[in-house]
Amino acid sequence: MPLGGGTAAAQREYLIPLKDRFMALIPVTILTGFLGSGKTTLLKRLLSEAHGQKIAVIENEFGEENIDNDILVTESKEQIVQMSNGCICCTIREDLRETLQLLAAKKRKNLLDFDRIVIETTGVADPGPVAQTFFMDEEIAETYLIDSIITLVDAKHAPQQLNDRQEARRQVGFADQIFLSKTDLVSAEETDALIHRLKHMNPRAPIKAVHFGEVPLKEVLDLRGFNLNAKLDIDPDFLKEEEHGHEHHDHHDHDHEHGEHCNHPSHQHGHEHGHHHHHDDDVKSFVYRSDRPFDPAKLEDFLGAIVNIYGPRMLRYKGVLNMKGTERKVIFQGVHQLMGSDLGPQWAEGEPRTSKMVFIGIDLPKDIFLQGLEQSLV
C-alpha cells in the first residue's frame, strides 16, 4: 500500500528490500558523531574484536591527512577504503557511490572478502545524504542494505556543540542508537540533563553510556534500524511529558515542545529567567497517536503534500498505522523526501488498534502536521 503518491511506491523497493533478497544484501552501518566523540575508538574495537565478521571500513575524516588510517591499519587486517578529499557534505554522494560500487565489484570477483561495511563519517557531516545514497541509486540499493545510523555523543562537549552546531543536532535526530562517551568526565547530574535533552530531540533511539568504545557488538551491528518492522519504541518518559504537554496546550506563550511544566534543569535558563527554556533546539520530535482508523486516500494525499513541502527538514519519521480496509498493521517510515510503506502483521485479538507515529525534524510545524493527520482519519 503506497503512502504519499506514486513516488513512494517506486521508492519502497529501495527503502525496504524484498525479503528474499534480504540475506544477499551487504549490511551497512553508518557511524556518526561530532569531532572527538570517539568514533575511531569504537571503530578500532569493531576491527580488533574476534567476532568472526569481516568488515570493510569507509572512512571520511575531514581534511587532507587521514590520521586514523595509521591507527587502524597497523592493528587490523581489514580492508580500509579511504576518501580524504574534503568535506563529506560536498563530495560524499558521488565518491561514496563509486567506492561502494568498487567494493561490490571486487567482492564479486573474490578480490576482496568482507561481510559488511561500516562508514565512518566526518565529525561535521550530516548523515542524511549518506543514508539517501542507499535509497536513490538502484545499483547500490540492490547490493547493500542500510542497517542503522549510530551516533556517538561526547558527554563533556555535547551541550556546547548542540547549542552551536546544527550538524550535531541533526546527527542526534537521525540516530537509531546513541552512545554517550566521556561520561566519566562529567557529573551524574550533567549526564542526566544531557540524556533528557537528547530524548527530546530523538525519543526513538536508545541511549547508552560507553567507556572507551567498549560496547557489545550486538548493540552496534544488525540493529535493523531501517527495517519496516511493526516495532516503534518511543521513550516512555518522553511520552509521559508529551501527554502532560497536551493537557496544557492552550499555553501559547511557552516555547517548550513538551509541555508547560517541564522543569528539568537542562531546560532552565538561569534563576532569573526560570520561565524561559535554555534549549529550544531546532531538532525536535513529536508523537501522534489515534484510536480511530486512517482513511488511506486522505492520508496518502496529506503525507505526500507534507513530504513535498517539508521533506528536507524531516530527518526521520516512522509509523505503525491502523488503516481502514485492512486487518493488518500498515508500517511506514522515511528519511527526508524518501518514504516507504508496507503491510505488517495482523492486529492481535484484543490488541488496541492505536496508530502511532513519530516525526523528528528541524523546526517542523507540529500544529500543521497534527491537524492534517486528524483530518486524514475516517
CATH at residue 124:
3.40.50.300
Count Cβ atoms below 10 Å from residue 298 Cβ, excluding itself. 16
What pLDDT is recorded for position 362?
A: 94
Is 71 strand, coil or helix?
A: helix
106, part of any domain: yes
DSSP class of 154: E
Alpha helices in the chain (DSSP H): 6-15, 19-22, 39-48, 67-75, 88-108, 127-136, 138-141, 158-164, 166-174, 188-201, 236-247, 296-310, 366-375
Distance of alpha carbon 286 from alpha carbon 334, whole angstroms: 15
What pLDDT is recorded for position 152?
A: 93
pLDDT-derived band at 212, boundaries 50, 70, 90? confident
86, part of any domain: yes
Which amino acid, one-letter code, is at 266?
A: S
360, part of any domain: yes
What pLDDT is recorded for position 243?
A: 74
204, part of any domain: yes
| Same-domain status, 95 and 199 | yes
pTM of the predicted model as reported, rounded to 2 decimal places: 0.75
| Same-domain status, 254 and 294 | yes
| Same-domain status, 289 and 143 | no
- Higher-pLDDT residue of 77 and 136 is 136
Number of domains in the chain: 2
Residues 331-362: tens digit of each pLDDT: 988 999 888 888 889 999 999 999 999 999 99
234 neighbors 200 (Cβ within 8 angstroms): no
Please classify residue 144 by burial: count the beta carbons closer than 10 Å to its beta carbon, then call 0-12 exposed, 13-18 middle and 19+ buried. Answer: buried
| Same-domain status, 48 and 86 | yes
Residue that terminates a domain, selected from 219, 247, 282:
219
6, part of any domain: no
| Same-domain status, 76 and 212 | yes
171 neighbors 158 (Cβ within 8 angstroms): no
Residue that terminates a domain, selected from 167, 190, 219:
219
Range of the domain at 276: 236-375
357, part of any domain: yes
C-alpha grid cell for residue 166? 546544527
The full length of the chain comes to 378
Residues 292-311: tens digit of each pLDDT: 999 999 999 999 999 999 99
| Same-domain status, 244 and 202 | no
What pLDDT is recorded for position 60?
A: 62
23 neighbors 82 (Cβ within 8 angstroms): no
| Same-domain status, 45 and 158 | yes
| Same-domain status, 63 and 201 | yes
Nearest CA-CA partner of 147 in 31, 53, 29: 29
Q: What is the CA radius of gyration of the chain?
A: 21
| Same-domain status, 172 and 23 | yes
Q: What is the CATH number of the domain that holds 323?
A: 3.30.1220.10
* Alpha carbon 224 to chain centroid, angstroms: 11
| Same-domain status, 33 and 181 | yes
Nearest CA-CA partner of 361 in 172, 213, 235, 216: 172
Mean pLDDT of 56-71: 53
Residues 166-211: tens digit of each pLDDT: 889 999 999 999 999 999 999 999 999 999 999 999 999 999 999 8
Q: What phi, psi does 16 have (nearest 5°)? A: -125, 100
Distance of alpha carbon 350 from alpha carbon 346, whole angstroms: 12
Distance of alpha carbon 318 from alpha carbon 331, whole angstroms: 8
Mean pLDDT of 284-289: 93
User: What does pLDDT average to over the chain?
Assistant: 76
1, part of any domain: no
11, part of any domain: no
pLDDT-derived band at 7, boundaries 50, 70, 90? very low
Residue 95: pLDDT above 60? yes
Helices (H) and strands (E) in the chain, counts: 13, 12
| Same-domain status, 56 and 184 | yes
| Same-domain status, 136 and 181 | yes
Is 191 strand, coil or helix?
A: helix
Residues 84-94: tens digit of each pLDDT: 322 121 233 34
Distance of alpha carbon 361 from alpha carbon 309, whole angstroms: 13
**E strand or H helix that includes residue 119:** strand 116-120
